Chain A
Amino acid sequence: MKAFNHENAKTLAEAKTALAGGKATIIAGGTDLIGTLKDNILPDKMYPATLINIKTVNPGLDYIKEEAGMLKIGATTRLADIAAHPAINQKYTALAQAALRVATPHVRDMGTIGGNIAQLHRCWYFRKPENRFECLRKGGKTCFAMMGDNRYHSIFGNVNMCIAVHPSDIAPALLALNATIVTNARKINAENFWDVKVASNTVLAPGEIITEIQVPAPPAGAKSAFLKFAIRKSIDFPIVNCAVMVGGGAPRIALNAVAPKPYRATKAEAAIAGKPINEANAEAAGAAAVEDAKPLAATKYKVQIAKTLVKRALLATV
């Protein structure tokens, strides 16, 4: 790792000021960031001169509370705590299940929910150590995956010409549960939170810090579930993952690792709306979810996985 300065921010305002200085980056759990820095993925001009630790801000951002019919999770809350929280398991099931499927127990004891939703994508051209491929997401002009090996890439086309998929397990759960992401500047609905930019996967402006995740209590009778398909059961990033919330209102179905942004399967939602969850209806919803798929030659298999995962996730709520 190349050298950098390290500052413990005492308040969010202090962190914001430090970020405004230019070459500074927020560090929370560090599980994505430290790997990125060790591999020296980004061009030199993007290597941070300072890391701002926000685990030290006061008041702290490590909390889970239920207030006014809403679940509030601080940005630096560890994923292990979310996965083990009884109320989240009971009412916000998809979120607890998603948190439990992230990486390994060790990473869940380090990684934070804020960092998970803001993590960078895993495209192997982007991630190649020592910045070997100056791709679109590093300010370059080429998407190497488009012409190269793209077996783990998007099945719903590109965004800003990038076909790398968003790797988060938490993201589809937040999308299905209609969560809101609170920053030090504004509130953003999960649907508008992710973006495809140079060295960033979010719409966050420079100096903007995620402070809280707010999840409205699911309507009475609603049930949610999360399923993940990965090659290895532990540590692995998803090939496809899926979170659903059905019953007690309009159904919500979200997929991730299928597109550059977490993908809300609106056609599948329409297909299952008002219908009982059974084998046939779930299968039809799965087929509807991938109706718009435009897979690459190497990603056709992901369409089948996405289709089946939607079906299984719906059936898992029964």
Chain B
Amino acid sequence: MADSDNSSGEKGGLNRRTFLKSAGFVVAGGTLGAGLTTIAPEAVAAAAAAETAPTTITNFRCPICAKDFATYGQLKSHFTAAHPGYVLPVTTKLKVNGKDYEVLIEPHWTLQRTLQFKLGLTGAKQMCDRGVCGSCTVIIDGRPVLSCTTLAVECEGKSIETVEGIAADPKWNPLIKSYCKWDAMQCGYCTPGFVVSAKALLSKNPNPTENDCKQALAGNICCCGTYPRHPTAIMEAAQIMKGGA
């Protein structure tokens, strides 16, 4: 069977501009320092990338021959006739950051892949791609999980939160600001995963100790070694969100 991992969806994958936009919120934090207020618009812009993703499928594209169809039924009959032996794409409804989407994917697509190539949400990063490093962390039904090891078809009916949703939510602004203030990042590639894990921790435990933070981030790997800054940033964010400090 063909490995169709490289086929992009009807959104045509990501262009360079959207990529830079979503990467921007991390870079901005690293370089601007004092100009913290400029981060929020960048984060909102990153979340806005998903706004352009269609909530329903209007175009059913065959992943093998790239022919377009108007309905799933037409694609299905084309598929059975033209590509016997291949796995039929499926439609899945995903609720990401509170918004409902319908996507046409193949059953072996991971959630990370679907978020990136169908919805343009690049916050959940593909790094190890084996469920080891935590860079692809998203929150599903309140649990921080690895989107590279989760099949997108199994997420139907579940509530998915990504770093874009957290960054665009004013409630979680102190967490983002605190991360920038303490510069808990260097290259920034792993940072979205850390932020999502931190948010999952703070949702469950609004007053974490340093040890709680270390435990919650034990599944996130940072090759730059920024580890000591994360508990500081999270604990300060927790104080600010409680109205203190």
Query: Which among A11-19, A32-40, A192-200, A210-218 touches the partner chain?
Result: A32-40
Q: Are A51 and B219 in contact (CB under 8 A)?
A: no
Assess whether B234 is interfacial by the CB under 8 Å rule.
no
Q: Are A105 and B197 in contact (CB under 8 A)?
A: yes
Assess whether A53 is interfacial by the CB under 8 Å rule.
yes
> Which size class do B's interface residues fall under?
20 to 34
Residues of chain B from 214 to 232 with CB closer than 8 A to chain A in the complex: 215-216, 218-219
CA distance A107 to B53 in the complex (A): 30
CA distance A3 to B107 in the complex (A): 7
Query: Given A3-B2, A34-B151, A110-B150, are A105 and B144 neighbors across the interface (CB < 8 Å)?
Result: yes
**Inter-chain contacts of B151 with A (CB < 8 A):** 6, 27, 30, 34, 51
Assess whether B110 is interfacial by the CB under 8 Å rule.
yes
Chain B residue at minimal CB-CB distance from A33: B149
Residues of chain A from 78 to 103 with CB closer than 8 A to chain B in the complex: 78, 80, 103
Q: Are A235 and B1 in contact (CB under 8 A)?
A: no
CA distance A4 to B3 in the complex (A): 10
Chain A residue at minimal CB-CB distance from B86: A3
Q: Are A39 and B87 in contact (CB under 8 A)?
A: no
Per-position binary interface string of chain B over residues 124-157, scored 1 when its CB falls under 8 Å from any chain A CB and 0 otherwise: 0000011110100100000111100111011000
Assess whether B239 is interfacial by the CB under 8 Å rule.
no
Chain A residue at minimal CB-CB distance from B113: A1
Assess whether A275 is interfacial by the CB under 8 Å rule.
no
Q: Which one of B106, B144, B149, B219 lies within 8 Å of A34 (CB-CB)?
A: B149
Q: Are B108 and A1 in contact (CB under 8 A)?
A: yes
**Inter-chain contacts of A34 with B (CB < 8 A):** 110, 131, 149, 151
Residues of chain A from 43 to 73 with CB closer than 8 A to chain B in the complex: 51, 53, 55
Q: Are A53 and B129 in contact (CB under 8 A)?
A: no
**Inter-chain contacts of B137 with A (CB < 8 A):** 106
CA distance A35 to B132 in the complex (A): 10
Q: Are B131 and A31 in contact (CB under 8 A)?
A: yes
Query: Given A34-B151, A51-B107, are A104 and B87 neighbors across the interface (CB < 8 Å)?
Result: no
Residues of chain B from 1 to 44 with CB closer than 8 A to chain A in the complex: 1-5
CA distance A302 to B13 in the complex (A): 49
How many whole Å from A37's CB to the nearest CB in chain B? 8
Q: Are A6 and B149 in contact (CB under 8 A)?
A: no
Assess whether B240 is interfacial by the CB under 8 Å rule.
no
**Inter-chain contacts of B107 with A (CB < 8 A):** 3-6, 51
Q: Which one of A3, A38, A103, A106 lies within 8 Å of B1 (CB-CB)?
A: A3
**Inter-chain contacts of B108 with A (CB < 8 A):** 1-4, 6, 37
Assess whether B66 is interfacial by the CB under 8 Å rule.
no
Q: Are A105 and B216 in contact (CB under 8 A)?
A: yes
Q: Are B154 and A3 in contact (CB under 8 A)?
A: no
Q: Are A110 and B145 in contact (CB under 8 A)?
A: yes
Closest 5 pairs between A and B when the two form their complex, measured CB to CB: A104-B219, A6-B107, A234-B218, A3-B87, A109-B143
Known: A3-B106, A5-B88, A6-B107. 8 other contacts (CB 8 A): A2-B3, A3-B4, A8-B154, A30-B149, A31-B131, A35-B131, A104-B218, A110-B131
